[in-house]
Amino acid sequence: QLVQASSRTHNSHPLVLMFSRLSSTFTSVARRSNLRAFSKISICKSFQTSSQQAGRNKGSGLLMLARLAGALGIAAATQAQAGAQASFIPHRQDQKEQRNIREERRQTLRSYCNKLMSEGRLGELFENANELERLFGMKEAASYYKYGAEKGEPKSMITLALLDHREGSFWAYEAVKKGELIGQMLIPTLCDQKQTRHHKKDLERLNRRQYLDTPNKLMKIFTLIALSRQEGLSLSDKRAMIEEADTIMCGLRQEGDIGSRGTPTLFEAKLLMPLYRRFQKLLHMKNPEMISACAPTLADIRNEHRGTHQEA
């Protein structure tokens, strides 16, 4: 019951986690001897120690329960010792099964994405492409992002703006026309990279200051970055904007709060993690001119993202 409850509620209590791990160990013992017996015993003993520590903090009832669970784990592993073999063949079989399960999951996700493409459900396509990328990498999801962007899905456009060196500003601008305001914050940095300047006049007509009142904190960060790069601002104003953006960034990192959705999505984490590193570097610079000159550009985000995908 504890294991089932933990899967429903994502309960992270140490005792519940211990039961969940023990359950998977017992299942493994019952199906095959894919670990040597002494490994099973040492694993269960470590569970017993950690669960006893958790029990001391929560009361004698939990402590007794923890001792019982640890004892059961050691007993089960000892009982399995007679049938355990030193051969690694069962272990290899287990690895093969895991690979098969992973491949099946990949094929299922791809089939579903193909179905969403044929039905034109672009919002769901983006979410499932995001999941595909999270599990199997950008290579698997790139074609779905491209399809969504070409059909007018704004978040797919932003993703391509971050990844496509040649057409980044084009996709960011298209996303703005579709109402994805983050694209508006990215365009100035693309123009700064001299990849393209044909959107410059359109940018001059946009009043970005209106977005400083937005409740979406991620949008506010990008607004402050864009404003800090404008010409005609005093160095003290630029520094103040960078510091305000860093304050918001630190709050997001601690609270996990972005916009109104709570926990950051993979899409938002891609934007946030490299920016957070850049801000930490910026605030250690004593020269305000350097702070303004080194504000994160899209190229910085894109390059740092290549090494931080797993963290995101």
- Per-domain residue ranges of the chain: 2-83, 92-151, 152-308
Round to whole Å and give the CA distance between 141 and 133: 5
Q: What dihedral angle (degrees, nearest 10) is formed by the CA atoms of 258, 129, 301, 260?
A: -10
What is residue 277's predicted lDDT score, i.e. its pLDDT?
52
Q: What is the DSSP string of 150-191?
A: HTT-HHHHHHHHHH-TTTHHHHHHHHHHTT-THHHHHHHHHH
Question: What residues does 262 pair with on adjacent strands?
Answer: 258
Round to whole Å and give the CA distance between 225 and 207: 14
- Mean pLDDT per 10-residue interval, the chain, length 312 residues: 47 56 56 47 53 50 52 54 47 76 89 91 87 82 88 82 65 73 58 46 47 60 65 70 71 50 47 51 47 45 45 40
3-state helix, strand, coil in the chain (%, to 5): 75, 0, 20
Contact (CB, 8 A) for 156 and 268: no
What is residue 217's predicted lDDT score, i.e. its pLDDT?
66
C-alpha torsion sign, points 56, 60, 66, 68: positive
> In terms of Cα–Cα distance, which of 309, 298, 241, 251 is closest to 275?
298
The Cα-based distances of 49 to 1, 43, 58, 59, 71 in angstroms read 22, 10, 15, 15, 11
CA triple 169-225-192, angle to 5 deg: 40
Q: How far from the centroid of its chain's Cα atoms is residue 273's Cα? A: 9
The Cα-based distances of 124 to 92, 116, 156, 218 in angstroms read 37, 7, 11, 22
| 309's tokens | 């995908």
What is residue 112's predicted lDDT score, i.e. its pLDDT?
92
* Exposure class string for 121-159: b at 16+ Cβ within 10 A, else e: ebeebbbbbbbbbbebebebbbebbbbbbeeebbbbbbb
Q: How far from the centroid of its chain's Cα atoms is residue 298's Cα? A: 19
Round to whole Å and give the CA distance between 14 and 10: 12
What is residue 114's predicted lDDT score, i.e. its pLDDT?
92
The Cα-based distances of 114 to 105, 122, 125, 141, 293 in angstroms read 14, 11, 9, 11, 44
